[in-house]
Amino acid sequence: MSHNSPAPIHLGKRSVVPETPEKALLDRVANPHPRERYVARFTAPEFTCLCPVTGQPDFAHLVIEYAPDAWLLESKSLKLYLQSFRNHGAFHEQATVGIGKRCVEILRPLWLRIGGYWYPRGGIPIDVFWQTGPPPAELWLPESGVAPYRGRG
């Protein structure tokens, strides 16, 4: 579910973690620089969800980057949305791509990409990457800062 009203629903207010990602409301705020082309990055190094088969916890380091148009993603709503996965069953691909699509739905950015750097399950890390298309040519895109798996440290 997305929230499209002009006034943020979480910012500056007491909020609780939604029971499920479907019940979470992502919020947006007006971009103060809509004519500029730049990248905003959110990093969530302690993302958690549950394996939908075993119920065991899965952990990931998520990196969400986007080139905003009219809207910015309100960070408190993103934090609550990501926390709502804590007791939610989702495969790595489902969680990573789903989070990216949900952000695109609310923001309608010029470009967005998400990297899900998952810690090993059964000895194999599964990294998932999704983007809306090629980034605009004039954007500066620094490296994600997440190392290929070697203990993720």
Q: Based on the structure, what is the number of domains in the chain?
A: 1
**Residue at 16 is within a domain:** no
Residues 13-51 have pLDDT tens digits of 788 888 999 999 999 999 999 999 999 999 999 999 999
**Residue at 89 is within a domain:** yes
- Beta bridge mates, 118: 60
The whole-number pLDDT of residue 54 equals 92
Range of the domain at 118: 21-131
**Residue at 102 is within a domain:** yes
CATH number of the domain encompassing residue 60: 3.30.1130.10
Q: 23 near 84, Cβ under 8 Å?
A: yes
- In this model, does residue 59 exceed pLDDT 80? yes
- In this model, does residue 5 exceed pLDDT 90? no
- Quote the mean pLDDT of the chain: 91
**Residue at 50 is within a domain:** yes
The Cβ of residue 92 has, within 10 Å, a number of other Cβ atoms equal to 19
Beta-strand relationship, 71-73 and 28-30: antiparallel
Residue (of 106, 104, 112, 105) closest to 131 by Cα position: 112
**Residue at 148 is within a domain:** no
Residues 90-109 have pLDDT tens digits of 999 999 999 999 999 999 99
Q: What residues are labeled active site? A: 51, 58
- Beta bridge mates, 116: 62, 128
Distances (CA, A) of 102 to 14, 21, 127, 143: 23, 10, 19, 23
